[in-house]
Amino acid sequence: NNGIVRPKGYNVSWHVNPELEKHHFGHSHPMKPWRLTLAKSLIMSYGMHAAMDTYFSRRATNEEMRDFHTEDYLDYLRTAIPAPPDDEVPGRFNLGGSDCPIFEGLFDYCSMYSGASLDAARKLCNHESDIAVNWSGGLHHAKKSEASGFCYANDIVLAILQMLRTFPRVLYIDIDVHHGDGVEEAFWSTDRVMTLSFHKYDGMNFFPGTGELERTGPETEGNAGAHHALNVPLMDGINDQQYQSLFETIVGKCVAKFRPEAIVLQCGADSLAGDRLGRFNLQVQGHGQCVAFCKSLNIPLMLVGGGGYTPRNVARAWAHETSIAIGCEKTLNPIIPEHTPYRSHFRHDTIFPTLEQILGEPRANKNTKKRLDEIVCMITEQLRFCET
Ligand code: TV1
Ligand code: CA
Ligand code: ZN
């Protein structure tokens, strides 16, 4: 199997549920749970599963989902009748519009991806895993009683709530191209969770319209959450070099100041170049470097998925990041194995498809050095107020 061996004394758990991958949001909807099947087939054709503990995750129970969501919202999610999306008016709880349609098996889908994140969180709490991976999770926009931006249940919030039973402080990092608003809002008033999102920000012109540099927590004096919500608003076209430098500088400072006992990294793959909805120019390499940097901190780490709308690139990124988790990234053959199911999907851009294919037409880079320096300065300033 490509010489992939289990790392000694280091446990990676991989939480999967093939049932979940079969759900459909509707014909033209950009969110395709099927991308998880593509990622899984790539991970397995490289033989990476031999180096991890694979778990078929269970569904979250209603009681577990109640840790964050309200009963009336969950009741509605469970009983809502599938219907073609109504573009004009989303219904109750923001369900039924084009972003968050009510499709067949919706509640199963929500309880499956939430259950996988809860399983991953428990592996970290028990110290049975050093890194726990759930590529089906990362649905960062869902609110307590509202669906938003393709997200219905917030598996990240549920997982962090679970982790807070064991770990005094959890750092949440979000590299999806969209702002992690649901997670930020859920932990807005606590100093036990620091949230840090990197995203495209252009006021109301880019979803969800929040995540300004200056909104770092509650403004009322003495509120515990003050200065614990950090945001890195970026412009179109940011490249690997700029992103890596920002990521390592800022995450380094957050870890030094906040001293988290666990980290949750949302690895939304819509920050990659060539993404159908994204605007950045990250390559598989640069996106993966964020995972490598978090791993190098030697703090219990949970990896979840998130956005990602060009399935072949989502699969590439998450397979590469799985290889980083188990530490075999340097020995992988860059050419995608011949026997990979769905290999034709990766031949979209070349006849010898590689894992680290240069992705998409480059987008004009609107991020100046001056602005990026300003962001680092401002975040450093905020962190001076964080006393732990
Ligand atoms: C059906 C069919 C739905 C085609 C949605 C892009 C579609 C979008 C579609 C779309 C689309 C959004 C908004 C506008 C809010 C609306 C998983 C006032 C071609 C984590 C969610 C983005 C991102 C929501 C989720 C956004 C995540 N963009 N085609 N919808 N309304 N919604 O702007 O962070 O990746 O685009
Ligand atoms: Ca983000
Ligand atoms: Zn996104």
Task: Based on the residue annotation, tell me whether 179 is a catalytic residue of this protein.
Answer: yes
Closest ligand 1 atom number to CA of residue 180: 34
The H or E element containing residue 197 is strand 193-200
- Residue 251 covered by a domain: yes
Q: Above 70 in pLDDT, residue 242?
A: yes
Structure tokens that stand for 117 in this block: 């994140």
- Ligand 1 binding pocket mutation candidate from 99, 113, 141, 314 (most atoms within 8 A of CB): 99
Query: Beta strand pairing status for 193-200 and 301-304?
Result: unpaired
- Residue 6 covered by a domain: no
Is the minimum distance from the CB of 314 to ligand 1 under 6 angstroms?
no
Average pLDDT, the chain: 96
Residue appearing with tokens 């978090």: 294
For 314, the domain range is: 12-383
- Residue 166 covered by a domain: yes
Q: From 193, 196, 198, select the one nearest 260 (Cα to Cα).
A: 193
Q: Above 70 in pLDDT, residue 1?
A: no
- Residue 1 covered by a domain: no
Residue 311 burial class via C-beta count within 10 angstroms: exposed 0-12, middle 13-18, buried 19 and up: buried
- Residue 183 covered by a domain: yes
CA of 216 to the centre of ligand 3 (A): 21
- Residue 5 covered by a domain: no
pLDDT digits (tens, 9 = 90+) for 12-51: 999 999 999 999 999 999 999 999 999 999 999 999 999 9
Which CATH number covers residue 111? Answer: 3.40.800.20
What's the domain count of the chain? Answer: 1
Is the minimum distance from the CB of 181 to ligand 1 under 6 angstroms?
no
Q: Which residues contact 156 (CB under 8 A, 6 or more apart)?
A: 117, 137, 138, 139, 140, 172, 180, 182, 183, 264, 266, 304
Q: Look up the ipTM and state it.
A: 0.99
> How much is the average pLDDT of 93-112?
97
- Residue 388 covered by a domain: no
Q: From 65, 14, 7, 44, select the one nearest 337 (Cα to Cα).
A: 44
- Residue 258 covered by a domain: yes
